[in-house]
Structure 1
């Protein structure tokens, strides 16, 4: 998760390398954009406050650059700032937005630009909501709304090899990645996390289609395929890195998770100790840890630990499995 210090570093020392670059002449941009779009994005203009319905639009989806189509923000990070311009707490990727110090109107501000085509988007301020504290104050004219049904959820329940193998087999799950969340340092290694000193949990990040499987059903699967009543422990694995945890992205997800935990509690004689924590950042583990069970089905851990768990899960959740 980017913080104000990161923004200052980018603006001072150089921006992250974009996935691609697109450059056009002024005349070429004029043929592609309306007069207002050209004024805002290519001439660094500012639209009138409260002039767009995007300020009060919070439906799921993503926001892309009106000039080049690069995805910039996810609706999950959008909030009502009361300023009259669409506001976000984070870009969709660290390298999606570029930053530039500028001194217009007699004050130094951090300009936000599309890192692909240099379109002027707006400015970044340090008065946004926690945990990032950032407010990306964007011109609505510089953005286009894209309806995207994909959602993400991150949670931990012991070794991520086991959790990954289960969720890969669920209908509606598009991708599962292993990694770490909830710790104190950036880009931790597997060895550092296993030491228990970084505060991270081993987690999976599940990308899913809510039209095929709901957020609530994913949580039910999660809480029924590991023991959520053991604190900082899963089987023989012990330590806070193996804690049972759900990372929510907004208040609605937090309320839904609380409800599902109360529902699942009835199935356990001991207290469910699954933690709820606001999602901040997912650090993907090395390639060796990705798709682990599928790549190593005959390895001892897979046969002794994952095979029995998978067999039980697939018998209990036949109606939720992908068709082979």
Structure 2
């Protein structure tokens, strides 16, 4: 979870790296944007307070940059700030937003921009609700709402190369991303997490369609394809970064996790030690860790560790595979 100190660090020491960049000339932007959207996003304008219905809309969905389509916010982080502009407590991921000092109009503020295309979105303030204390005050014209059937699950069960390979084969799973969560520092590197001093676990973020596979079934498969009874260890991988963990984003997910853990305990002779923790932030791992098994099936670790896990998974959950 980002807090204001993290935003200040980005401003003073450099923004998180964007997944991609979109660069166009002013003329190219004018050709694809309405005059109102161009004024706000490319010329740093501000819409009138309470001028958009988006301010009072709190239905589930995702919010994307009106210029380039990059996903920026999850509707679950939206709240009524009473300011007249759509407000969020967190971006959808730390690298989605870039930050710059803004001293216009005799004020000192921190500007929020789309990290992909540098579109002006609004400003971020340290007066939001807990636990982050952040208020991303956005122009509605800078955002497009996207209705989506997908939900996300963040799970850890040892080396994320193994976990990613398993979940990629499941029906109803749209994407699987390897990363880090559950620790104390923002934007950790793989090397830092491997030191065991960040508190982060190696995890995967699974985007899935609950109409095709339920969250509880994802958890059952997760607990069946690693050993949830060994504290801070999976086979030869030892350390807190390899702990069994379920990061929940809301109370419904927490209740489901508690239910499934109690249900699955009957299968194991030893107590399940899987941690259930509130998701504060998911940090994407470096590109070389994404799709690792698909890229390197001949690697020794893949053949010795991942291949046997996949064979067990394919036998137990044959009907759940794509």
TM tier, smaller: 0.7 to 0.9
Structure 2 matches for 1:168-207, cutoff 5 A?
168-207=168-207
Structure 2 matches for 1:234-249, cutoff 5 A?
234-249=234-249
With over 3 angstroms needed to count, the CA separation of the structure-2 counterparts of 1:236 and 1:140, relative to structure 1, is same
User: How far off its partner does 1:57 sit?
Assistant: 2.9
Structure 2 matches for 1:246-265, cutoff 5 A?
246-265=246-265
User: How far off its partner does 1:82 sit?
Assistant: 4.2
2:100 corresponds to 1:99: yes
Aligned to 1:135: 135
What's the C-alpha RMSD, in Å, of the aligned pairs? 3.4
Secondary structure, aligned partner of 1:266: helix
With over 3 angstroms needed to count, the CA separation of the structure-2 counterparts of 1:246 and 1:13, relative to structure 1, is closer
With over 3 angstroms needed to count, the CA separation of the structure-2 counterparts of 1:141 and 1:101, relative to structure 1, is same
Distance 2:11 2:190 in 1: 31
User: How far off its partner does 1:13 sit?
Assistant: 6.7
Distance 1:215 1:230 in 2: 23
Deviations along 1:246-268, one digit per CA (max 9) or x if unpaired, are 11223332333233223323333
Aligned to 1:45: 46
CA contact (8 A) 1:11 1:101 kept: no
Aligned to 2:285: 284
2:66 corresponds to 1:66: yes
Tell me which of 22, 26, 35 is aligned to 1:24.
26
Distance 1:147 1:274 in 2: 33
Deviates more, 1:289-298 or 1:310-319: 289-298
CA contact (8 A) 2:30 2:38 kept: no
Distance 1:311 1:26 in 2: 51
TM-score for the superposition, normalised by structure 1: 0.80
User: How far off its partner does 1:88 sit?
Assistant: 1.2
Secondary structure, aligned partner of 1:198: coil
With over 3 angstroms needed to count, the CA separation of the structure-2 counterparts of 1:259 and 1:305, relative to structure 1, is same
Deviates more, 1:86-95 or 1:219-228: 86-95
User: How far off its partner does 1:300 sit?
Assistant: 4.6
Structure 1 alignment gaps of length 5 or more = none
Structure 2 alignment gaps of length 5 or more = none
CA contact (8 A) 1:22 1:68 kept: no
Aligned to 1:320: 320
User: How far off its partner does 1:56 sit?
Assistant: 4.0
CA contact (8 A) 2:179 2:282 kept: no
CA contact (8 A) 2:177 2:284 kept: no
TM-score for the superposition, normalised by structure 2: 0.81
User: How far off its partner does 1:189 sit?
Assistant: 4.4
How many equivalent pairs are there?
Answer: 317
With over 3 angstroms needed to count, the CA separation of the structure-2 counterparts of 1:14 and 1:163, relative to structure 1, is closer
User: How far off its partner does 1:207 sit?
Assistant: 2.9
Deviates more, 1:38-47 or 1:148-157: 38-47
* CA radius of gyration, larger in: 1
